[in-house]
């Protein structure tokens, strides 16, 4: 016995020591139809458990070139066919993900078509070259869109994801912003001449695994601050989404650093075009998210809280209208629905698996 489940789709992760890679490995452990068979790291040779003590996996990491060769062998040994046969998750910093994918794709040649890819970085999220370069200060890695990446927010673009083999997973804040704003915006309820005020708070895991002054425990614990008041790059994803419905508005997203590790809380204040009651907006959001496995629109008066979503792929959403302003309160786990969970949700869709596989666990509660 080699421990391989031969009916499971083999999965690979690049950027193994990263926070999202560790979280993905944990989620895949609970996925009956997928099995982690490869992990890539700049520190090839270290086992996953050495990088992430919470994991059971002793899988030894390899470098990118060896991974490409192993993937080629893995795909070459499979029965011929057109369907995606291997899952590849890229968990690298912006800029590095695209380069890693190009290197793997070149090594695989025609076999690359059988790899379903989810990139967690921003490299393929923004189609508009100008908007991408303005926000990320680097050249767009795929200016003509020839790599075929689609945007991976299933609640709005599920059919595109199902038909694709390349997904750009949304940013963590960008996921919160779009889930909170789009139902009202698409329904034509929002005043696009007045500011849409979007303050949100994230825990320190949003900044990745490397220690930084802004994530250092003695400074972060017990403190609280805003950042990027002049505009944050995750606004670009909301702008791109609004443009699909020919909408534009003065967005004022204001991120904050909170003194916890996981979780984003957004308190969106959205000006309404006309007087409306909470019940009307609640009906719009409830209809929009009806049947969505991970979105919970709370009953009127309900208040989302981080403790009910952290550790899960769930999003909790509460609505209130007062004096012409719609308040949307939203909580999610940035590392799961804002990161690895959403990536796995998209991968499930591309592979034709149950969308919720590996993701049905409840929140931690405290």
Residue 94 binds ligand NAP, judged by CB under 6 A: yes
* Least CB distance to ligand NAP at residue 222 (A): 22
Site string for ligand NAP, 28-67 (x = CB under 6 A): -------------xxx------------------------
User: Which of 10, 170 has the CB closer to ligand NAP?
Assistant: 170
Rounded CA Rg of the chain: 20
Nearest residue to 178 via CA among 145, 152, 148: 152
**C-alpha torsion sign, points 124, 126, 130, 136:** negative
Q: φ and ψ at 197, to 5 degrees?
A: -95, 125
Under 8 Å between Cβ of 9 and 71: no
Under 8 Å between Cβ of 24 and 344: yes
Q: Which of 172, 310, 319, 331 is catalytic?
A: 172
Distance of CA 21 to the CA centre of its chain: 12
Greatest alpha-carbon span in the chain = 66
Site string for ligand NAP, 107-146 (x = CB under 6 A): -------------xx-------------------------
Known active-site residue 172 = yes
How far is residue 329's CA from residue 321's CA, in Å, rounded to a whole number? Answer: 11
User: Which of 93, 324 has the CB closer to ligand NAP?
Assistant: 93
Point out which span in 101-109, 277-285, 330-338, 356-364 binds ligand NAP (CB under 6 A). Answer: 330-338
Residue 210 binds ligand NAP, judged by CB under 6 A: yes
* Helix, strand, coil % in the chain, rounded to nearest 5: 35, 20, 45
- Alpha helices by DSSP H, listed for 207-273, are 217-220, 235-244
Residue 334 binds ligand NAP, judged by CB under 6 A: yes
Total site size for ligand NAP, rule CB under 6 A: 28
Tell me which of 33, 127, 199, 208 binds ligand NAP, using CB under 6 A.
208
* Least CB distance to ligand NAP at residue 329 (A): 20
Q: Is 333 helix (H, G, I), strand (E, B) or coil?
A: coil
* Least CB distance to ligand NAP at residue 21 (A): 6
For ligand NAP, the binding residues (CB under 6 A) are 15-21, 41-43, 91-94, 96, 120-121, 171-172, 205-206, 208-210, 334-335, 338-339
């Amino acid at each position: 016995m080699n421990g391989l489940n031969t009916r499971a789709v083999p999965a690979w992760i690049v950027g193994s020591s990263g926070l999202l890679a560790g979280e993905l490995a944990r989620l895949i452990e609970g996925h009956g139809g997928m099995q982690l068979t490869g992990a890539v790291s700049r520190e090839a040779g270290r086992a996953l458990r050495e990088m992430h003590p919470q994991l059971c996996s002793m899988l030894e990491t390899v470098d990118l070139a060896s991974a490409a060769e192993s993937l080629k062998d893995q795909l070459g040994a499979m029965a011929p066919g057109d369907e995606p046969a291997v899952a590849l998750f890229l968990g690298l910093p912006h800029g590095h993900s695209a380069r890693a994918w190009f290197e793997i794709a070149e090594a695989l040649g025609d076999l690359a078509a059988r790899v379903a890819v989810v990139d967690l970085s921003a490299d393929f999220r923004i189609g508009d070259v100008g908007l991408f370069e303005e926000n990320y200060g680097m050249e767009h890695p795929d200016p003509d869109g020839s790599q075929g990446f689609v945007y991976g927010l299933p609640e709005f673009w599920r059919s595109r994801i199902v038909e694709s083999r390349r997904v750009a997973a949304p940013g963590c804040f960008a996921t919160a912003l779009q889930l909170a704003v789009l139902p009202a915006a698409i329904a034509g309820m929002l005043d696009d001449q007045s500011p849409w005020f979007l303050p949100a708070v994230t825990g320190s895991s949003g900044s990745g695994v490397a220690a930084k002054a802004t994530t250092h425990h003695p400074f972060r614990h017990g403190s609280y601050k805003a950042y990027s008041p002049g505009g944050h790059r995750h606004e670009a994803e909301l702008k791109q989404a609004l443009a699909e419905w020919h909408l534009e508005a003065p967005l004022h997203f204001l991120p904050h650093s909170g003194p916890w590790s996981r979780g984003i809380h957004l308190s969106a204040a959205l000006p309404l075009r006309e007087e409306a009651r909470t019940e009307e907006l609640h009906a719009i959001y409830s209809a929009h998210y009806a049947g969505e496995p991970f979105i919970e629109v709370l009953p009127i008066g309900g208040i989302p809280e981080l403790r009910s979503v952290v550790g899960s792929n769930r999003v909790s959403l509460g609505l209130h209208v007062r004096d012409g302003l719609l308040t949307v309160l939203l909580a999610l786990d940035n590392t799961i629905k804002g990161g690895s969970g959403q990536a796995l949700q998209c991968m499930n869709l591309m592979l034709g698996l149950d969308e919720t596989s590996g993701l049905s666990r409840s929140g931690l509660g405290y």
